[in-house]
Structure 1
């Protein structure tokens, strides 16, 4: 089987497994319990509900998504009162418990592969912890992002001459879900992902995401809830503690979308987490900054949207 066909089949298998798990969890179970094929009309006459198609089940789940888009935090910016959180969105009920579990299983399996040197060199990184909150494990797919000036003279941003592993099929199906369910725009479909694995006490200092990546972008929170702090100016109160003008919680399974002022005026940071956490940050590269030899994935084009 050709590699492209194999990858496509893996993505389709991921999506089919998600549908199977939804059935096992009982989502829409009252609608899917016909006793045997061909008995739908008898079941309906007996007062039972009809069997739903996968498309109908998906639409029911889509309607249950909770979307918060009214974040407000006013600050003085260059002599004007500005809502620094304009464009910030928080979406919940996107992923079932089974889907979150599958994502976590994938992350920890890839972490083990990285420890065994079974991934491309820059895909997996586990820096030495030189102080509390520093040195979390990361996995990068699609491109290699350099966080700071390094010993080779590279500046922060995408390293175009470095190669990492491509997006795994499950992450691609996750991106399709986010686009299909109107969490991300079909005009800005992510082509990269950074996975952060936080241990207790790990944090991310104040920053604005690099403009080698387009807006909007998003972060999926898994395993445990944590807080995120925003402000046009953020200060360090203590190791892993930050002061800002706004703070909110990121529930387990939630998707935080950053756009407009929420991405480019407000800095954001993650204070020291109280328990182990995993985040998936999906971003689209600026086409001018893509790695040399990058090839677009046609399977990620023209994703159909739910009404």
Structure 2
């Protein structure tokens, strides 16, 4: 398909509204308001490439801080991808998360909790992990002998899209995730993600826009304010934030108190040596490859912002 065909077609295709909450993202085909003759000139695979080429990607984040006596870009390795999910797809994912939250309330999910104070509700899939050293002295990281529910089917569909659409590399396909459900005023304190998880990893945002704060010296003060924050990055609804390099390992990050309800899903790949002893890789998450086209060839002003 030529570049001119893609340009014309990209203005003619829009996401099909959800017919049923039981549909998966892969079942939703692109369609116009009517079955135009032009639509039938392209295969489903070609239409998917059109969608991929319309994804907006920002990779040039810059924030210089002195770290160990040297000036470094603490945001090196961070990427923000938007237009990955249609409004109907986002609605489907949110509804699925709400169903999971209800199961968690009924005790039907193994690893779900709501911390005291201004935290957020969280559900873990694929592995259990401690955010910090426990009262029993168990260090932060993956709990290899704790069992947890496997990745939900819809989440595996999301993972496949993230890899196929050039958001995550095929060398780091996620095998676990945590769902965070925020109510108004909830937050996440400053931290660097545990190295039991490989880089890159990503967070997908739903329901409302919020901001994430970065800083190599970021910390939470006793009065509840944050100090040492250097860069506040808005996360649009439906966006995917990828963390790698300095952005994942040098800069701490936190989510300040959110103004309204928010859902995020953070997808990670476990270090093989840290996997739970019972873990078996998901067969349908093996050998995923990005769609075969040169991403750089589409890096024009209307695709990278």
Q: Secondary structure at the match of 1:175?
A: helix
Instruction: Summarize deviations over 1:88-112 as a string: whole Å, max 9, x none.
Output: 0000000011111111111110111
Unaligned stretches of 5+ in structure 1? 1-12, 35-42
Instruction: Summarize deviations over 1:140-165 as a string: whole Å, max 9, x none.
Output: 00000111222333111000010100
Equivalent position to 1:202, from 183, 186, 197: 186
* Alpha-carbon offset, residue 79 of structure 1: 1.8
CA distance in 2, matches of 1:275, 1:240: 18
Q: Secondary structure at the match of 1:197?
A: strand
CA distance in 2, matches of 1:20, 1:294: 29
CA distance in 2, matches of 1:193, 1:14: 22
CA distance in 1, matches of 2:290, 2:249: 27
Contact 1:234–1:242 (8 Å) recurs in 2: yes
* Number of positions where the alignment pairs a residue of Structure 1 with one of Structure 2: 272
* Alpha-carbon offset, residue 82 of structure 1: 0.6
TM-score scaled to structure 2, two decimals? 0.84
Q: Does structure 1 residue 29 correspond to structure 2 residue 32?
A: yes
Q: Does structure 1 residue 297 correspond to structure 2 residue 300?
A: no
CA distance in 2, matches of 1:215, 1:148: 19
Contact 2:75–2:247 (8 Å) recurs in 1: yes
Contact 1:14–1:173 (8 Å) recurs in 2: no
* Alpha-carbon offset, residue 240 of structure 1: 5.2
Counting only pairs closer than 5 Å after superposition, residues 48-59 of structure 1 correspond to structure 2 as 50-59=40-49
Contact 1:68–1:91 (8 Å) recurs in 2: yes
Q: Secondary structure at the match of 1:50?
A: helix
The residue that corresponds to 1:10 in the other structure is none
Contact 1:192–1:285 (8 Å) recurs in 2: yes
The residue that corresponds to 1:230 in the other structure is 214
Instruction: Summarize deviations over 1:134-188 as a string: whole Å, max 9, x none.
Output: 3x21110000011122233311100001010000010001000000001001001
CA distance in 2, matches of 1:157, 1:101: 32
Q: Secondary structure at the match of 2:284?
A: helix
* Alpha-carbon offset, residue 70 of structure 1: 0.2
CA distance in 1, matches of 2:222, 2:166: 38
* Alpha-carbon offset, residue 60 of structure 1: 1.2
The residue that corresponds to 1:125 in the other structure is 113
TM-score scaled to structure 1, two decimals? 0.83
* Alpha-carbon offset, residue 21 of structure 1: 3.9
Q: Secondary structure at the match of 2:103?
A: helix
Contact 1:33–1:51 (8 Å) recurs in 2: no
Q: Which has the larger Rg?
A: 1
Equivalent position to 1:215, from 180, 199, 211: 199
CA distance in 2, matches of 1:173, 1:20: 10
Task: Report runs of 4+ in structure 1 exceeding 6 Å deviation.
Answer: 13-16
Go from structure 1 to structure 2 and tell me whether the alpha carbon gap of 1:203 and 1:194 turns closer, same or farther (over 3 Å shift): same
The residue that corresponds to 1:37 in the other structure is none
CA distance in 1, matches of 2:46, 2:80: 25
Unaligned stretches of 5+ in structure 2? 1-19, 294-305
